[in-house]
Structure 1
Amino acid sequence: MADSFDEECDYLFKAVMIGDSAVGKSNLLWRFAKDEFRLDSKPTIGVEFAYRNIRVGDKLIKAQIWDTAGQERFRAITSSYYRGALGALLVYDITRRSTFNNLQKWLQELRSLADSHMVIVLIGNKSDLGHMREVGEEEGRKLAEQEDLYFMETSALQNVNVEDAFLRMITQIHRINTQRNLEAKIKDTTTSTTTQTTTIPRGSQVLLSIDEVSATKSASCCHY
């Protein structure tokens, strides 16, 4: 499953995982990156990192996923990792309503510090513990609709919807990235064709220069 970190890629996408402590962020990440579930998983201290290469169409994307600590004392540290992130998995525990109630706080922080085009997927984790459920699936879906988020319930333990959740985020980032690059090229082409040398009347001594137009550079490997 894991590809070499040095394998040539077309894009590098950074994403973060946020939410309260003990909602299962680390196990979701390790299930996606290594197909592992760690029963002895301990709370994340600061930030942990994992990656996986994903092919979308004919492009190879290196997804860098940053797992941030949910404890309040680490917030000043982890908030700096939002910079440059193109996607986020916002995770709550369906068996603990408090983690659901705190989502607005996480959303506010995310939207104040991250890119306005960020793709956010709302995750209700631990669906295998349905008998202990405190948050209904429809509640999660309704919040996602209100906040314009993608939504999915997952189980890191049983590996339910974990792959789909990450892939949905990555493919949406790729779609937005492709669209923005296309719009930039169209804008540059339009600017180039409308900036022309003015014809100088015969006998005139006035020299008119062409405005310089900055061409959009195509993205190099592993950069966005």
Structure 2
Amino acid sequence: MDNYKIAVLGECGVGKTLLLNNFTDNPSDDSDDYQKIENDFPMKIVSYKDEEIVLSFIETSYDKYPSMHETNINQTDSFVLIFSITSRKSFEQIPTLRNDILRVKTLLTNEKLTLVLCGNKSDLEHMREVTTKEGLQMADKFGCVFYEISAKNNTNIDEMFNALINEAFNNKVNKIQNQYEITYKNTKEDYKNNDRFIYTPTILQEKPVKKYLDDYEEEYEEDKIQIKNYENIENLENENENQSDEITEKRKLNKCLIT
């Protein structure tokens, strides 16, 4: 099963522990908001796209345990930034927490941060200090979704984490694509004078040249296919000249290099 590590970041007292206790079905207690040390990770198995995945959580209070703050950020790829709608101070701390993430994490070009912003304690409307509009505006600035939740009443908790999981999955796919494009460009340059290789143009679909190579000995090294009996490649191309126009176009570079 895939394992997604999620850091829940926010000031002390905003309801991080209660949120995770309720979501992971752990017994709730009335102890301090951050008594658990990060070696004790709450976990939950959920179903996503007909597959089970494991969610493991780290909760961090920067104001109480600053020495563990960067370590926890570095260990995770998905983040919940949480404030209390009854505390403007906790809301104003959110941009600092996001900047900490961007400073610690190294993002690839076009890589998006997996993030959700949530305002807790929606059950305390009469004590509200942060408007819904302000939360939406901050989320829009961050390029993420925003939820108002009640950890006490279990309001919007499942919806919020489902949105985060969906974002994490999509970003994971995009990250693979970005990494592949970088690797492909580098490999294309490395192998442009080596006509013993065919390079497939995508890793997210079945290798388009595989069906042409059934009669040949193949060695797979990630997305490279090394053809041992290269002397038959030209015959192979002639035999399949009426096959996919897309494949034909992609085989123009340097005999065997698919672009």
What amino acid does structure 2 have at the position aligned with 1:64? S
TM-score normalized by the length of structure 2: 0.66
Aligned to 1:76: 67
CA RMSD of superposed structures (Å): 3.0
> Equivalents in 1 of 2:129, 2:193: separation in Å?
65
Identity %: 23
Is the contact between residue 86 and residue 115 of structure 1 (CA under 8 Å) also seen in structure 2? no
Aligned to 2:240: none
> Equivalents in 2 of 1:124, 1:37: separation in Å?
20
> Equivalents in 2 of 1:118, 1:109: separation in Å?
12
For the pair 1:49 / 2:44, whether they are aligned, the reply is no
Is the contact between residue 24 and residue 156 of structure 1 (CA under 8 Å) also seen in structure 2? yes
Aligned to 2:55: 63
Q: Rate the CA distance shift 1:181–1:107 in 2: closer, same or farther, 3 A.
A: closer
Q: Deviations over 1:172-222 (max 9, x none)?
A: 111221333356567778857x75744xxxxxxxxxx76999626xxxxxx
State the Cα distance separating 1:51 from its structure 2 match: 0.9
Instruction: Single out whichever of 21-30 and 42-51 deviates more from structure 2.
Output: 42-51
Gaps of 5+ in 1: 1-8, 199-208, 217-224
Q: Rate the CA distance shift 1:144–1:55 in 2: closer, same or farther, 3 A.
A: same
Name the SS for the 2:168 alignment partner. Answer: helix
Is the contact between residue 85 and residue 118 of structure 1 (CA under 8 Å) also seen in structure 2? no
TM-score normalized by the length of structure 1: 0.76
Q: Deviations over 1:51-100 (max 9, x none)?
A: 1112211332111111113434x111232011141110000010111111
Is the contact between residue 16 and residue 33 of structure 2 (CA under 8 Å) also seen in structure 1? no
Higher CA-based Rg: 2
Aligned to 1:127: 122
1:1-224 correspondence to structure 2 within 5 Å: 9=1, 11-34=2-25, 37-38=28-29, 40-45=30-35, 46-47=37-38, 48-72=40-64, 74-116=65-107, 117-182=112-177, 195=192, 197-198=194-195, 215=222
What amino acid does structure 2 have at the position aligned with 1:159? N
Name the SS for the 1:127 alignment partner. Answer: coil
Higher relative CO (Cα under 8 Å, sequence separation at least 6) belongs to 1
What amino acid does structure 2 have at the position aligned with 1:25? K
Q: Rate the CA distance shift 1:186–1:56 in 2: closer, same or farther, 3 A.
A: farther
> Equivalents in 1 of 2:61, 2:183: separation in Å?
42
Gaps of 5+ in 2: 200-219, 224-259
